[in-house]
Amino acid sequence: MHDGPMPDGPMHDEPVHDVAVVGAGPVGVLLAAALAQRGIDVVVLEKRTQAHRHSRAIGIHPPSLVVLERLEVLDEIVAAGVRIDRGVLRIHGRERARLEFASTGARHPFVVTLPQLATERILRARLADLAPDALRTGVDVRRVEREAASVRLHLGGGFASVRARVVVGADGPSGVVASALGLSAAGRSYPHRYLMGDFADTTGDSAVAVLHLHPRGIVESFPLPGGQRRWVTHLPAGVGVERADAALLAQLIAERIAPEAAPDPATATMSSGFGVRRRILPRMASGDGRLVVIGDAAHEVSPIGGQGMNLGWLDADALAERMPALLAGLDSPQQGGVSPLGDLGRTRLRSARAAARISEFNMAMGRPTSAAGFALRRAVIATTALPPLRRSLARAFTMHGR
């Protein structure tokens, strides 16, 4: 596997690949592995030569666990991560609501937390088993050119181009494939700013996700492997993300929960501030199916709720399932103008919109509010004691049916 920069100089001419994936994040690599598992010739082109330093995505939801099971990496993912079977909501230290994920009826009724860096290592290793030479790093795709029976990817750095019958963009919201499709979305940026960090876990909450509701902003915490815990909370008004550090996060936790609840800043392995925006493209593929976008290249939703990476994986799984038929039909006239990808775009973008609505609900319930607004939230929380609603919420927050 080319898990390193490409050598100096142009690449030799090579045959036309079945599929070229632009972007080797968790979504692009999972797609490539799923295609290789089906015997499809795939190449993955990644500009980076090193992984990102920080792991923003940590939550792996039940629908994604089914996808990882089909890829034969589920046992490794579960063994490396932390299994979460329930989430609780507390107000002023007292438990006010509980969601039991076993009630969802999912094949794997739990969430696994695992830093994205570790998840990517497992997925890359699986891709290397299935297609040792598929991954090429240090390759910058500059331009996409449509040809009669293929797509040519023009590369920077003096490298020759790469050609494929189908090109999939898994290269994020400013990706070159979406640009080639001529797709854009106005999107929406939210005023919310958040601060997150990973610390040694001294809470005693073990493998439980905990939400602390507070008038000045919700505080979320999730267990991580290695005795760590991920904390997330609102930044105060007027404080920019450039001030995001472990000491400020520990201070906010102390103020919004209790001084003794605050983690020790000296144990922090990561801290980062971030904003939130929503962006969903009108479609995911060209009419003939030769250009496709998935994951953040097709839709961005708030990271609050941990749905982004999972949405991308479900895109990849659905696309991999349809790819053999797409490739078989590319050289034949389409019957009746039917898209070779069927309803892929409609169903996956519908899921993205549903995920965005859940994220927006999460943000609304957790943002700073007045005393009256906080009293209203407490009343809403009280309704979750009703068993049917509790089960519905558990299914929604674990992406059941996505």
Residue 103 is predicted with a pLDDT of 83
146 located within any domain: yes
User: Residues 47-101: pLDDT tens digits?
Assistant: 998 866 666 789 999 999 999 999 999 999 999 999 999 999 999 999 988 888 8
Query: DSSP state, 122?
Result: H
251 located within any domain: yes
Q: Of the candidates 136, 141, 121, which has an alpha carbon nearest to the alpha carbon of residue 55?
A: 121
| H/E segment holding residue 258 | none
Residue 139: partners with Cβ closer than 8 Å, 6 or more residues away: 6, 45, 46, 47, 155, 157, 159
Residue 146, pLDDT > 70, answer: yes
| 91 and 150 both lie in a single domain | no
77 located within any domain: no
| 107 and 197 both lie in a single domain | yes
69 located within any domain: no
| 258 and 131 both lie in a single domain | no
Structure confidence at residue 120 as a pLDDT band (50, 70, 90): very high
Structure confidence at residue 370 as a pLDDT band (50, 70, 90): very high
The total of structural domains in the chain comes to 2
Q: For the chain, what percent of residues have pLDDT higher than 90?
A: 66
Residue range 386-398: mean pLDDT, rounded: 62
387 located within any domain: yes
C-alpha–C-alpha distance, residues 263 and 233, integer Å: 13
| 231 and 341 both lie in a single domain | no
Asked which of 330-334, 340-344, 384-388 is least confident by mean pLDDT, the reply is 384-388
The pTM of this model reads 0.91
Residue 14, pLDDT > 90, answer: no
User: Residues 257-301: pLDDT tens digits?
Assistant: 999 999 999 999 999 998 888 899 999 999 899 999 999 999 998
Residue 382 is predicted with a pLDDT of 79
State the residue range of the domain holding 248: 83-114+191-276+367-397
| 231 and 252 both lie in a single domain | yes
Structure confidence at residue 104 as a pLDDT band (50, 70, 90): confident
| 340 and 292 both lie in a single domain | yes
